[in-house]
Amino acid sequence: MKTQVNEDLIAPLPAPVQRSLRRSGVVGREIPRSVVVRQKGRLRSAPHSNWLAFTASETYDVAEPGFEWRAALKKGPVTVGRATDSLHAARGKMNVKLLGLLTVLDLTGPELDQGTLLRWLNETMWFPAVWATPLIAWRAVDENTAIGSVTAGATNVEAAFHFDDTGRLVDFRADRYRQVKDGFELRPWATPLYEHARFNGLELPSRGGGVWMLDDEEFEYVQIHVLDITYP
């Protein structure tokens, strides 16, 4: 039997998290077991490189942290590559192939475990009912900020969720591993949110970006527009 989000369940949560759950319409709804998000957007690999368009479908596990993101990389109407990013059984993996043949990226390891778990925590914005479950631990910061943390296997991550006065999630910030040449470095990372829309009766983020804080600039490497959110 599915659990329904109710006032008793959200009462222990920090005030801005409670406010956001009420604003979104989650209170009174069941906690989903899986979620599918369809997206389009664009991404780039360096601050001054060209943008590459993509369309993607992402499936999330809610009972435990997990997801699989599959994207078609586009140049005009032509698909020039495929990308996958995933988290399964606490292990992260990223793979990019161009023209269906050339593997240009194939990453695994503890840094990917950390990065993909942070990604799952970030993207709970599209199934926020999970915020009311024991899977995520919370601690209050102020009236508009709360720290959320989650553990998968040996990996634990935490991030700051920033809300506006009305309860909308407007930013998410954490230190995340970024690939640099043949290694990784821990960098501040943010996903500012620009717009919200209604999906299946819930008000959820619909447009946002991903930003790395580099030494001399902020590097927005992805922009996302959510097309559809379904709870199979």
| Predicted pLDDT of residue 90 | 98
Dump the DSSP string for 28-49: TSBPPSEEEEEEEEEE-SSTTS
Residue 113 contacts residue 92 (beta carbons within 8 Å): yes
Residue 169 contacts residue 193 (beta carbons within 8 Å): yes
| Predicted pLDDT of residue 181 | 83
| Predicted pLDDT of residue 167 | 97
**Burial (CB count within 10 angstroms: exposed 0-12, middle 13-18, buried 19+), residue 220:** middle
Spans of all domains in the chain: 7-230
**Topology classification of domain 7-230:** outer membrane lipoprotein receptor (LolB), chain A (2.50.20)
Q: What's the rounded Cα separation, in Å, for the pair 220 and 43?
A: 9
| Predicted pLDDT of residue 50 | 92
Residue 185 contacts residue 177 (beta carbons within 8 Å): yes
Residuewise pLDDT in 10s, the chain (232 residues): 578 999 999 999 999 999 999 999 999 999 999 999 999 999 998 898 999 999 999 999 999 999 999 999 999 989 999 999 999 999 999 999 987 678 888 999 999 999 999 999 999 999 999 999 999 999 999 999 999 999 999 999 999 999 999 999 999 999 999 998 888 999 999 999 999 999 999 999 999 999 999 998 999 999 999 999 999 8
Residue 5 contacts residue 21 (beta carbons within 8 Å): yes
Which one, of 98, 87, 85, lies nearest residue 179 by Cα?
A: 85
| Predicted pLDDT of residue 1 | 54
Amino acid (one-letter) located at 195? E
User: Phi-psi category of 56—alpha, beta or left, where left has phi over 0 and alpha has psi -120 to 50?
Assistant: beta
| Predicted pLDDT of residue 214 | 95
Q: What's the rounded Cα separation, in Å, for the pair 114 and 181?
A: 18
